[in-house]
Structure 1
Amino acid sequence: MNGRTRADLKAYGSTPMMHNPLNGTVRYMKVRLAKLSDAAEIAAIYNHEVLHGVATFDLVPKSLEEQREWLRDRSGALPCVVALNEDHAVVGWACLSKYRDRPAYGTSVEDSIYVHQDHQGTGIGNLLLAELTRLADEYGFHSIFARIAGENPSSFALHQKHGFELVGVEKEVGRKFGQWLDVTTMQRLTHRA
């Protein structure tokens, strides 16, 4: 635990989570609202996906200033949250965004979740999505959408675990790395009328 005791980590406000159930190793995480000072780490995680993955359809990495500007716009009911490890490094981030621009869509949001490539499959996405669904409920949104690009069974399973249901598949709507990509749309209703 890098010289820290469990009491130190509890004082830090961390949430314990299993890293490896086979050997019982426990890692500690904290999820909090993103700060402007997180911009470089958020950009590094996002830009890796821009250059090497299909979770985003962006093709050009974001500059640090672009990431800072994007973070400045994240406030109120459309927040960005980060997951910090016990060394206070950002190992994942997530946000709620407007689902569509027209006013009648105002009760719906879309989630985005990105986890550092060295920490995928460790439960960080689960913590981030749990926080996003809590915030969406707190802010009174009726519906959360997830748009999952390409073949991503981990993201599909994660969203199912949090009550999302498959509502459709858009065929070959994007092209990246010389391949056509489908987008799977999932939805979770938060406030049922």
Structure 2
Amino acid sequence: MHTRLATSGDAAAIAEIYNREVTEGTATFDMVPRTEAEQLAWMREHSGAYPCVVATSGQEAGATVMGWACLSPYRPRPAYSTSVEDSIYVHRDHQGRGVGDLLLGHLVALADDHGFHATFARIADAGAASIALHSKHGFDLVGVEREVGRKFGRWLDVTVMQRLRPR
């Protein structure tokens, strides 16, 4: 496996992984799948300080995108500019193989390299694997937001975790 910055050529694979969570899962609270054009527009916003990375099956051209992750601004107000939120999505066929671990390791390094002080994870529906993954990478539990989302006729909680950049 290999991680690298995402390119526009990854848009369809990223959208496929994301859209499955939109239509079948609770990892995102989005309700409408993204088109490839919408995914490309989203990717343009996730470059520079807020990168999107992919995990691929190898380094060769045409390697399978197994998952992706990104950093996003935590909140729009200027005082929050030193904080980011992470997102990680692994294709269901590749879960349990260390893809998420590889992606989060790369993302945490990028957050540190870009000078972000705090990285937050917002984990929907008590995702035990995601909570364990974030704990492994130095995230601590902040709290649980109760019934803040509704999807598939169910109220969903969001677990909030935070990692501070080592000093």
TM-score strictly above 0.5 = yes
Kindly indicate whether residue 76 of structure 2 is the aligned counterpart of residue 104 of structure 1.
Answer: no
Residues 25-174 of structure 1 correspond to what in structure 2 (within 5 A)? Answer: 29-86=1-58, 88-174=63-149
Deviation (angstroms), 1:75: 1.4
Letter in 2 for 1:164: F
The alignment's TM-score, normalised by the length of structure 1, stands at 0.83
Task: Give 5+ residue unaligned stretches, structure 2.
Answer: none
Provide, for residues 9-36 of structure 1, a one-character-per-residue CA deviation record: whole Å limited to 9, x for no partner.
Answer: xxxxxxxxxxxxxxxxxxxx11000000
The alignment's TM-score, normalised by the length of structure 2, stands at 0.96
Identity %: 65
For residues 97 and 69 of structure 1, what CA distance do their matches in structure 2 show? 14
Deviation (angstroms), 1:72: 1.4
SS in 1 for 2:96: coil
Name which one, 1 or 2, has greater alpha-carbon Rg. 1
Deviation (angstroms), 1:191: 4.1
Residues paired across the two proteins, number: 164
Partner of 2:157: 182
Residues 2-21 of structure 1 correspond to what in structure 2 (within 5 A)? Answer: none
SS in 2 for 1:168: strand
Task: Give 5+ residue unaligned stretches, structure 1.
Answer: 1-28
Letter in 1 for 2:38: E
Q: After the TM superposition, list the runs of 4 or more consecutive aligned residues in structure 1 that deviate by more than 4 angstroms.
A: none
Letter in 2 for 1:130: G
For residues 73 and 156 of structure 1, what CA distance do their matches in structure 2 show? 26
For residues 28 and 6 of structure 2, what CA distance do their matches in structure 1 show? 20
Letter in 1 for 2:31: L
Deviates more, 1:104-113 or 1:66-75: 66-75
Deviation (angstroms), 1:151: 2.3
